[in-house]
């Protein structure tokens, strides 16, 4: 039996000094008033890689006040699309100039492979360019059919101060799914990156300053959900919270935001099904399933972690997926050959393992993995590729987000059962179908409750196409034109022209 493919330590020297991350408030880089910091150790190497200011109420209030003042009295919300676009385009160029530096800190803080960090930063630069294009095409409506004396206009205006709260799994990509769209709309912003991966957002702030973004348009407060994220969710001077993270925290943000009725947009978790019909190309499906479950060590909202396969081909498919899983290079994220790196934290490793153990105890089979793996020369935490078969719909591993390199395999007998299983989770982020029959794929795409459906592919993404979730996977959409609309308000202007006399009260 072939063993796993493990990439040992490459011996790459880590930076001599940890990156120092500070808040950006009204154009100035500052430490916390009380001097508090949080340290981040690399999940793969165990070494200290960044020391970040840990924000409290003072920093959060100051950042919100700056964003408010600049929105209400500054030039940015009234700047032309051309001016905003120029800064976003310049930022994209600077991101590409600094790609090595940003990718390295991303890998060191998150544990993801360096090649994938590169791809993430490069994809993010594309989003800055796409948002720059939108900044110049933004427009409202005119209504010229309201009668001879009336003209109606619908103006699109920036919503105001946007609080942007991000997770750790794609730190640079996710802030780039939000911030350039908010800036294109003319909003000002307070960004809070995850406490586990603060540094790439700080580098982005430096680049935006270099690109000429006026002071106070972007503010960054580092620190934890409590108090920084919670204050962004409750503060009356914040007009909108754009959040990506867990469904549990998303619900807390909605509750916290209800006091001010601020707009909340949410990109939350997923338990994404892939349904494999018996006529599918099993080799292609197996390769995409392997990618879908191990990409970013499964720490991915779009993880294709739930396979629903026709019982006639289940055995053959699992055999192929297990064989491919053994070939996927797990190990040192700084080695360019590595495709799966380290798990974000020891606590998260225990959570992943807990799901697998609980499924095994409930009668599921573990066809591969189900345990931590050691990587020669590295002291961090790594979880092996894991395939769990015989999963039944009521098991936690079938309905909850494991967020690790763990595949759950369920089976079905007919299309109705497959759809019912696919729709049985409380999430509705993304879904996939594998069949050579276009009608089977289209029928699935129309019946499944998910914000994105892939047919005979998995996890493609484009700046032009909206992304977001149904059910408990979120509300609102990012990317595409929808991503800009999230940060805009519609204002109706009704103009009496021509005959301006009114006659409600007789003269
Ligand atoms: P998380 O919910 O624990 O944290 C996300 C952010 O919220 C962090 O910055 C955190 O500090 C902050 N936060 C924590 N408590 C808060 C509170 N009470 N108020 C305001 N902010 C608070 O999520 P995570 O562990 O960082 O990320 C993983 C989760 O993110 C997974 O569930 C994953 O599916 C989801 N995610 C979704 C998408 C998507 O586009 N749908 C993309 C990436 C990740």
Answer yes or no: is pLDDT of 139 > 80: yes
Nearest ligand 1 atom, CA 167? 26
Answer yes or no: is pLDDT of 349 > 60: yes
pLDDT computed for residue 24 by the predictor: 99
300 Cα: distance to centroid of ligand 1 (angstroms):
11
Token pair listed for 105: 């800190």
Our count of domains for the chain comes to 2
pLDDT computed for residue 259 by the predictor: 97
> Does residue 1 belong to any structural domain of this protein?
no
Q: Is 194 in the pocket of ligand 1 (CB under 6 A)?
A: yes
421 Cα: distance to centroid of ligand 1 (angstroms):
26
Q: Which of 242, 323, 239 is nearest to 286 (CA)?
A: 323
pLDDT computed for residue 153 by the predictor: 98
Q: What is the pLDDT of residues 355-380, one digit of tens each?
A: 999 999 999 999 999 999 999 999 99
Could you tell me if 310 and 449 lie in one domain?
yes
Nearest ligand 1 atom, CA 429? 41
pLDDT computed for residue 213 by the predictor: 98
pLDDT computed for residue 2 by the predictor: 61
Could you identify the residue written with the tokens 């018996």? 278
Q: Is 241 in the pocket of ligand 1 (CB under 6 A)?
A: no
DSSP 459-505: ----TTS-B--EETTEES-BSHHHHHHTTEEEEEEEEE-S-----SS
pLDDT computed for residue 477 by the predictor: 98
Q: Which of 386, 380, 288 is nearest to 334 (CA)?
A: 380
Whole-number mean pLDDT of the chain? Answer: 97
Could you tell me if 208 and 292 lie in one domain?
no
> Does residue 486 belong to any structural domain of this protein?
yes
> Does residue 342 belong to any structural domain of this protein?
yes
Answer yes or no: is pLDDT of 499 > 80: no
| Cα 162 to Cα 178: distance, rounded to the nearest angstrom | 10
Q: What is the pLDDT of residues 140-195, one digit of tens each?
A: 999 999 999 999 999 999 999 999 999 999 999 999 999 999 999 999 999 999 99
Could you tell me if 81 and 226 lie in one domain?
yes
Q: Is 425 exposed, middle or buried (0-12, 13-18, 19+ CB in 10 A)?
A: buried
pLDDT computed for residue 381 by the predictor: 97
Q: What is the pLDDT of residues 218-233, one digit of tens each?
A: 999 999 999 999 999 9
- Residue nearest to ligand 1 atom 10, measured at CA: 225
Ligand 1 pocket mutation, candidates 127, 167, 300, 465, criterion most atoms within 8 A of CB: 167
Averaged pLDDT, 207-211: 98
**Cα 320 off chain centre by:** 30
pLDDT computed for residue 503 by the predictor: 77
CB 166 within 8 A of CB 173: no
Answer yes or no: is pLDDT of 296 > 80: yes
Q: Is 244 in the pocket of ligand 1 (CB under 6 A)?
A: yes
Q: Is 225 in the pocket of ligand 1 (CB under 6 A)?
A: yes
Q: Is 268 in the pocket of ligand 1 (CB under 6 A)?
A: yes
- Residue nearest to ligand 1 atom 9, measured at CA: 194
Could you tell me if 130 and 254 lie in one domain?
yes
Nearest ligand 1 atom, CA 246? 32
Q: Is 307 in the pocket of ligand 1 (CB under 6 A)?
A: no
Q: Is 474 in the pocket of ligand 1 (CB under 6 A)?
A: yes
280 Cα: distance to centroid of ligand 1 (angstroms):
35
Strand extents, DSSP E, 319-398: 329-331, 365-368, 386-389
Q: Which of 104, 187, 174, 173 is nearest to 138 (CA)?
A: 187
Nearest ligand 1 atom, CA 267? 41
Answer yes or no: is pLDDT of 82 > 70: yes
> Does residue 467 belong to any structural domain of this protein?
no
Could you tell me if 282 and 241 lie in one domain?
no
Q: Is 482 in the pocket of ligand 1 (CB under 6 A)?
A: no
Q: How confident is the model at residue 211 (pLDDT cuts 50, 70, 90)?
A: very high
Could you tell me if 168 and 209 lie in one domain?
yes
Query: How many degrees, rounded to 5, is the angle at CA 300 between CA 297 and CA 301?
Result: 160
Could you tell me if 40 and 122 lie in one domain?
yes
pLDDT computed for residue 501 by the predictor: 76
Using only C-alpha atoms, the chain has a radius of gyration, in whole angstroms, of 24
Could you tell me if 99 and 165 lie in one domain?
yes
Q: Which long-range contacts (CB under 8 A, 24 or more apart) does 488-492 make?
A: 488/138, 488/156, 488/157, 488/158, 488/159, 488/185, 489/156, 489/157, 489/158, 489/159, 490/140, 490/154, 490/155, 490/156, 490/157, 491/154, 491/155, 491/156, 491/157, 492/152, 492/153, 492/154, 492/155
Averaged pLDDT, 232-259: 98
> Does residue 75 belong to any structural domain of this protein?
yes
Q: What CATH number does residue 170 fall under?
A: 3.40.605.10
Could you tell me if 487 and 444 lie in one domain?
no
pLDDT computed for residue 504 by the predictor: 81
347 Cα: distance to centroid of ligand 1 (angstroms):
16
Ramachandran bin of 296, using left for φ above 0, alpha for ψ from -120 to 50, beta for the remaining angles:
left
Considering the candidates 187, 301, 478, 485, report the single residue annotated as catalytic: 301
3-class secondary structure, 38: strand
Averaged pLDDT, 408-419: 98
> Does residue 484 belong to any structural domain of this protein?
yes
Strands 427-428 and 470-471: antiparallel
pLDDT computed for residue 310 by the predictor: 98
Answer yes or no: is pLDDT of 348 > 80: yes
Q: Which long-range contacts (CB under 8 A, 24 or more apart) does 349-353 make?
A: 349/381, 349/383, 349/404, 351/402, 351/403, 351/404, 352/298, 352/383, 352/402, 352/403, 352/404, 352/405, 352/406, 353/383
Sign of torsion, CA 222 223 226 227?
Answer: negative
246 Cα: distance to centroid of ligand 1 (angstroms):
4
Q: Is 402 in the pocket of ligand 1 (CB under 6 A)?
A: no
> Does residue 2 belong to any structural domain of this protein?
no
> Does residue 192 belong to any structural domain of this protein?
yes
pLDDT computed for residue 36 by the predictor: 98
Nearest ligand 1 atom, CA 474? 41
Could you tell me if 98 and 129 lie in one domain?
yes
Q: What is the pLDDT of residues 16-60, one digit of tens each?
A: 999 999 999 999 999 999 999 999 999 999 999 999 999 999 999
123 Cα: distance to centroid of ligand 1 (angstroms):
21
Could you tell me if 84 and 213 lie in one domain?
yes
pLDDT computed for residue 26 by the predictor: 98
- Residue nearest to ligand 1 atom 20, measured at CA: 229
Answer yes or no: is pLDDT of 399 > 70: yes
Considering the candidates 106, 267, 478, 485, report the single residue annotated as catalytic: 267
Q: Is 230 in the pocket of ligand 1 (CB under 6 A)?
A: yes
Q: How confident is the model at residue 505 (pLDDT cuts 50, 70, 90)?
A: confident
Q: What CATH number does residue 321 fall under?
A: 3.40.309.10
267 is catalytic: yes
Answer yes or no: is pLDDT of 1 > 60: no
266 Cα: distance to centroid of ligand 1 (angstroms):
10
| Cα 250 to Cα 39: distance, rounded to the nearest angstrom | 25
Q: Is 195 in the pocket of ligand 1 (CB under 6 A)?
A: yes
Q: Is 245 in the pocket of ligand 1 (CB under 6 A)?
A: yes
Domain that holds residue 415: 273-455
167 Cα: distance to centroid of ligand 1 (angstroms):
4
Answer yes or no: is pLDDT of 507 > 70: no
Q: To the nearest 5 percent, what fractions of the chain are helix, strand and coil?
A: 40, 20, 40
Could you tell me if 142 and 182 lie in one domain?
yes
210 is catalytic: no
């Amino acid at each position: 039996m072939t063993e796993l493919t493990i990439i040992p330590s490459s011996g790459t020297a880590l930076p001599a000094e940890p990156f120092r991350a500070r808040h950006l408030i009204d154009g100035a880089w500052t430490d916390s008033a009380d001097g508090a910091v949080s340290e981040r150790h690399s999940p793969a190497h165990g070494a200290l890689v960044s020391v970040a200011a840990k924000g409290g109420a003072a920093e959060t209030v100051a950042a919100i006040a700056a964003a408010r003042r600049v929105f209400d009295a500054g030039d940015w919300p009234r700047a032309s699309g051309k001016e905003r676009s120029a800064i976003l385009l310049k930022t994209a160029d600077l991101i590409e100039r600094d790609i090595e530096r940003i990718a390295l800190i991303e890998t060191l803080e998150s544990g993801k492979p360096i090649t994938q960090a590169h791809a993430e930063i490069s994809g993010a630069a594309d989003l800055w360019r796409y948002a720059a294009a939108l900044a110049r095409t933004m427009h409202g409506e005119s209504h010229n059919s309201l009668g001879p004396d009336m003209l109606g206009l619908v103006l699109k205006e920036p919503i105001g101060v946007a609080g942007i709260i991000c997770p750790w799994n794609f730190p640079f990509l996710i802030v780039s799914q939000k911030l350039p769209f908010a800036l294109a709309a003319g909003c000002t912003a307070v960004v809070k990156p995850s406490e586990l991966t603060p540094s790439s957002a700080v580098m982005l702030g430096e680049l935006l300053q270099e690109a000429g973004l006026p002071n106070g348009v972007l503010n960054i407060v580092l620190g934890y959900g409590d108090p920084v994220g919670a204050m962004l969710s409750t503060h009356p001077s914040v007009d909108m919270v754009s959040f990506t993270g867990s469904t549990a925290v998303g619900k807390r943000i909605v509750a916290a935001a209800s006091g001010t009725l601020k707009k909340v947009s949410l990109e939350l978790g997923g338990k994404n099904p892939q349904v494999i019909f018996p006529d599918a190309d099993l080799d292609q499906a197996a390769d995409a399933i392997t990618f879908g479950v191990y990409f970013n060590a499964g720490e991915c909202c779009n993880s294709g972690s739930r396979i629903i396969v026709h019982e006639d081909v289940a055995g053959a498919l699992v055999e192929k997926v297990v064989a491919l899983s053994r070939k996927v290079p797990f190990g040192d994220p700084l080695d360019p050959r590595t495709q799966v790196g380290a798990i974000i934290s020891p606590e998260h490793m225990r959570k992943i393992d807990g799901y697998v153990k609980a499924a095994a105890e409930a009668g599921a089979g573990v066809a591969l993995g189900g345990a931590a793996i050691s990587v020669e020369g590295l002291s961090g935490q790594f979880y092996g590729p894991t395939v769990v078969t015989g999963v039944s719909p009521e098991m936690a591993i079938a309905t909850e987000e494991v967020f690790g390199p763990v595949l759950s395999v369920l089976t079905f007998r007919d299309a109705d059962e497959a759809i019912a299983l696919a729709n049985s989770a409380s999430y509705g982020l993304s879904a996939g179908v594998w069949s050579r029959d276009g009608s089977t794929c289209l029928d699935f795409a129309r019946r499944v409750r998910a914000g994105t459906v892939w047919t005979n592919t998995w996890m493609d993404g484009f700046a032009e196409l909206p992304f977001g979730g149904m059910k408990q996977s979120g509300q609102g959409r990012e990317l595409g034109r929808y991503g800009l609309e999230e940060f805009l308000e519609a204002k109706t202007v009704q103009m009496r022209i021509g005959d301006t006399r009114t006659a409600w009260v007789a003269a």
